[in-house]
A and B are shown apart, each in its own frame.
Chain A
Amino acid sequence: MTAIANASTARQRTKGETAIRLVVLTIAALLLFAPFLFQDVRSLEVAAKLCIFIVLVASYDLLIGYTGIVSFAHTMFFGFGAYGVAIFLKQWGAGWDAIFVGSLAGIAVSLAVAVVIGLLSLRVKAIFFAMITLAAASVVLVLASQLSDFTGGEDGMTFRTPSLFKTATKLLVDEDNKVVRLFGVKLNGKLAAYYFVFLSCLTLFVLMLRLVGSPLGTVLKSIRENEARAEAIGYRVVAYRTFVFCAAAVAASLAGSIYAVWLKYTGPDTTLSFSIMIDILLMVVIGGMGTMWGAVIGAVLLVMAQYYLRDLMGVAAETTANLPLIPDILNPDRWLFWLGIIFILLVYFFPAGIAGSIMKRGAPRATSE
């Protein structure tokens, strides 16, 4: 843990850090031009999901990586944002005011819950906090599926978004009143929706990057490294922890709102379920706790794996169908099993994750120890 902090505060960047930054910049560029580079519906889905999960995972990293708080309620805040937008779009009809008020309502609920949980339980040990957030998240999940008049229950709710985001909307038309194509891509509402997602996510990510680079970020790291000492220097640990918990909750809630607008659907399975929480946890740990870059890498790897590795495993299982045992191992349903094992091994041998381990490369011995 100290190694990460030292490496990132070192005066000159190590080779590894430069490499990671280049990778992240490449990912950002690919996401920026995604609609033009990969021209099918599924790729655009993947790209949008990537943007949103990068923000979600980065906000979780604020907690677990920068401050050392283990929370299992992150999907709860994600869900608050998504359901806020969904409920208002459903009640008020498709309009920008509904999106705006809905996200604000999601943020307000998230903030209120985060303050209560934070003040009540951030004083106690990390382990209590983890258990309490787990319990809170499960209650919210149950409530969302029980209060079906309000939330649509297990089925969730579909709604319409402003007409700008409809696939049929033409952003630019030529003289025949047909939609203009740029590099073969139709400039329609879907494109507008994607860039709405991309730009809002980019803004949120940059804001979080700014937060951890600020003096406040340094205080958070000091709390992670040595709580008693941070308290002794004169920082009110509970106040800082509650603040970062609230900040992460707001970011997650906004990510949820964006996701709801993109999907035009909100349900327990897409926002609140425990498997999403596990995905976020896997992404943070695999990418590397305590670095925003790690969040990007972890999210990209895992989302790509979800969409493409399973297909690949299915193909591999079919081609080896005649061999003993191998098809069973490669069965696409077993992929979470392998992910779990990789996760355990990573926590043992590379607790700094992929980004953290690479960033340590080339660091002078004195700072990496």
Chain B
Amino acid sequence: MEKLVNTIERLGGVNLLPVALAVVAFVLIGNPSSWVTLTVAGLAMGMMIFLMASGLSLVFGLMNVLNFGHSAFVSFGAFVAASVLAGLSGWLSGDSIMLGALALFLAVSAALLFGLIAGWFFETVIIRPVYEDHLRQILITMGALIVSEQIILAVWGGTPTAVPRPDFLEGALIIGDISIEIYRIFAFALGLVVYIALYAVLNRTRIGLLIRAGVESREMVEALGFRIDRLFIGVFMLGSALAAVGGAMWAGYETLISPALGGEIMIIVFIVVIIGGLGSIEGTLLGAIMVGLVGNYVGFLAPKLALASNMLLMMAILMWRPSGLRPAVK
């Protein structure tokens, strides 16, 4: 028994959970082609959720600030990207892949830029005055969420907005009897690139070193003479921008978005950061992929349970590990 535990630990410990999940699902589903389709869908969804959740997790880890308004960045990102894509719809339908890609790039960049600016504004105006006071943080960010939802309602209206996609991302790849939507591959790839970039910055650069040190012990880093509050604004802006990009990707995935989007996403994002453990990028990725996979598998196996599945997953993991799968050292 002990030997088995050691082997699992050496192979990756909790990181094996998604693999174990996929294996169990393979047995339960029993049909390889639908299993592949579901797994790819789950991974793509997980990567998009990771984009949205990573910022929240880092911000909490570094500054002990929980932003209940985080989902506002997601919805703003989605709507800004949708507007840009709608404005450039001429480029999307043309034959040229270049123009389509450019339009997509512009849409994602617009979301990114918006996220950066909104994040800066949010940090300095809303959150700065209530550091170190959790109750008021929750209340104020909740108030900000209400206000931003109302702004979205006022600007884009309450009816669902259609999101055009570039032609080259439409359709599906068919290998044998397995069909995989191209957009999902794109979403997965983008998420992976962002994860690798984040991982590299956090583990290979001086700034990343400071951020990791700040997560572990903020006072110590300040005592050594670093201005951690400036660093924090940077992390906050980056986190908001990632959330906005995640929102933009989500808009393209859903193709029809409504102002209720933020509220739905918020629950999933919270579940992901709780499962993964607040403050760590690896944990967030793990949590996001678990949630994505479980959502898709359960949706196929027992559609009635699908919406409660994330909650059950969170309960189970919290009972096993009360501070999440891979929490940052605190």
Interface positions of A (Cβ within 8 A of B): 64, 68, 70, 120-121, 123-128, 130-132, 134-136, 138-139, 142-143, 146, 274, 278, 281, 285, 333-334, 336-337, 339-341, 343-344, 347-348, 351
Contact = CB atoms under 8 A, between A and B. Distances in A.
Nearest to B315: A120
Given A127-B66, A138-B267, A142-B307, A347 B139 contact: yes
Nearest to B269: A131
A135 B308 CA distance: 10
Given A139-B307, A142-B307, A340 B134 contact: no
B185 interface: no
A344 B138 contact: no
Interface stretch (B108-116, B148-156, B212-220): B148-156
Contacts of B224: none
Interface majority SS (helix, strand, loop, mixed), chain B: helix
Nearest to B314: A135
Interface string B125-151: 010011000111011101110110011
A337 B129 CA distance: 21
Given A135-B271, A348-B140, A336 B263 contact: no
Contacts of B314: 132, 135
A136 B270 CA distance: 11
B201 interface: no
Given A70-B138, A126-B135, A340 B143 contact: yes
B151 A337 contact: yes
Interface size grouping (class) on chain B: 35 or more
A125 B137 CA distance: 13
A336 B311 contact: no
Given A146-B307, A337-B154, A344 B144 contact: yes
Contact of B134 (A126, A143, A343): A126
27 contacts: A64-B135, A123-B322, A127-B66, A127-B134, A130-B138, A131-B273, A135-B271, A135-B314, A138-B311, A139-B307, A139-B311, A142-B308, A143-B307, A278-B146, A333-B153, A334-B150, A336-B150, A337-B150, A337-B151, A340-B146, A341-B143, A343-B139, A343-B146, A347-B130, A347-B143, A348-B129, A351-B136
A327 B147 CA distance: 19
Given A130-B138, A281-B139, A341-B147, 17 more contacts: A70-B138, A120-B319, A126-B135, A130-B66, A131-B66, A131-B274, A138-B267, A138-B311, A143-B307, A278-B142, A334-B150, A339-B146, A343-B139, A344-B144, A347-B139, A348-B129, A348-B130
B17 interface: no
A344 B139 CA distance: 8
B139 A285 contact: yes
Interface string B265-286: 0110011011000000000000
Contacts of A134: 266-267, 270
Contacts of A123: 322
Given A142-B308, A337-B147, A347 B140 contact: yes
A131 B147 contact: no
B275 to A, nearest CB: 11
A337 B319 CA distance: 39
Nearest to B270: A131
B318 interface: yes
B14 to A, nearest CB: 19
Nearest to A128: B274
Contacts of A121: 318
B304 interface: yes
B276 to A, nearest CB: 13
Which 10 interchain pairs have the tightest Cβ spacing? A337-B150, A340-B146, A340-B147, A344-B143, A343-B143, A131-B270, A142-B307, A139-B311, A127-B66, A138-B267
Q: Which of B135, B274, B308, B323 has the most CB of A within 10 A?
A: B135
A146 B263 contact: no
Contacts of B307: 139, 142-143, 146
Contacts of B130: 347-348
Contacts of B68: 130
A287 to B, nearest CB: 13
Given A337-B147, A348-B129, A135 B311 contact: yes
Q: Which of A126, A132, A344 has the most CB of B within 10 A?
A: A344
Given A285-B139, A348-B129, A336 B270 contact: no
A64 B138 CA distance: 11
A341 B271 CA distance: 28
A274 B135 CA distance: 19
Contacts of B144: 340, 344
B149 to A, nearest CB: 8
Contact of A125 (B134, B150, B318): B134
Q: Which of B134, B138, B310 has the most CB of A within 10 A?
A: B138
A134 B269 CA distance: 12
A143 B305 CA distance: 9
A124 B140 CA distance: 21
